[in-house]
Amino acid sequence: MARNLKTYTTSAGFFDLAVAAPSMKAALEAWGSKNNLFHHGFAKISEDPKIVAATMAHPGVVLRRPVGSSGAFSEHAKLPADLPVRTPQRAPSRSAKRREPPTEAVDDKTAREAARAFEKEQKRRQSERRSEEAARQKERARRERAIAAAEAALERARRDHQARLEDIEKDRVALDKKSQAEDALWRKKKEELEAGLRRARSGSHLHLV
C-alpha cells in the first residue's frame, strides 16, 4: 500500500534541494547522502505550500533552486548568478518554534497519486542504479581481462627472452670449446713445426763446418 509523502528540503553545493518522499531515509537516499542530514540539523520537513505543490507534482524527483533564493523549485535549475556568502544553517530546534506558513490541503486522491508516482520513480531510480552497477561490473571485467592479457604477454616475452639467453649461452659454450680445441691443435702444430725448424737449422750448421 502506498505511503503518504512528505516534503523534505536541504542544501547541497550551489542548490537548495527538495523532494517528496515517504520518510527521511527515502529523502536521504534520493539526495544520495550517506550522512543523516536531519540528525545534524541540515535537512527538515517543509510545509511551504509552493514547495509542497512542486514536489508532489514530481514525487521522488529531486528538485533544485539556486541556494539561498526564494524562487520555484524545478528539475533543471540554473546556477545562481550571485552566490550568497553564508555558512550552513541548522534547522530550528523544537524549542525555537516559529510560525510556519499555512499548508494547502492535499486531498486523498492527490496524495495517493503522488505516493504511486513516488514508488514508480523509486523503481526507475533503482533500475537505473542496477544498470549503472551492471555497466561498472562490465567495465571492471573488461579491465581485468585487459590486465590479464597484458600480464600474459609480459610473461610470454619474459620466457622468450630467457630462452634466447639460454640459446646464446649454449652457443657461447660451444664456441669456447671450439676455440680451446683450435688452440690445442695450434700448439701441437706449432711444436712440430718449430722442432722441424730446429732440426733444419742444426743440419745446415753441420754442412757448413
Distance CA 163, CA 140 (A): 34
Look over the chain and give the mean of its residue pLDDT values, rounded to a whole number.
Answer: 82
Name the pTM for this structure: 0.47
- Element containing residue 12 per DSSP (H, E): strand 6-12
Q: 115, exposed or middle or buried, with CB in 10 Å at 0-12, 13-18, 19+?
A: buried
Per-residue pLDDT, 19: 94
Comparing 93 with 69, the larger pLDDT belongs to 69
Per-residue pLDDT, 127: 86
Per-residue pLDDT, 209: 54
Q: Is residue 26's pLDDT more than 80?
A: yes
Distance CA 32, CA 99 (A): 30
The 10s digit of each residue's pLDDT in 125-180 is 788 888 888 998 999 999 999 999 999 999 999 999 999 999 999 999 999 999 99
The 10s digit of each residue's pLDDT in 97-138 is 444 444 444 566 766 777 777 777 778 878 888 888 899 899
Per-residue pLDDT, 95: 46
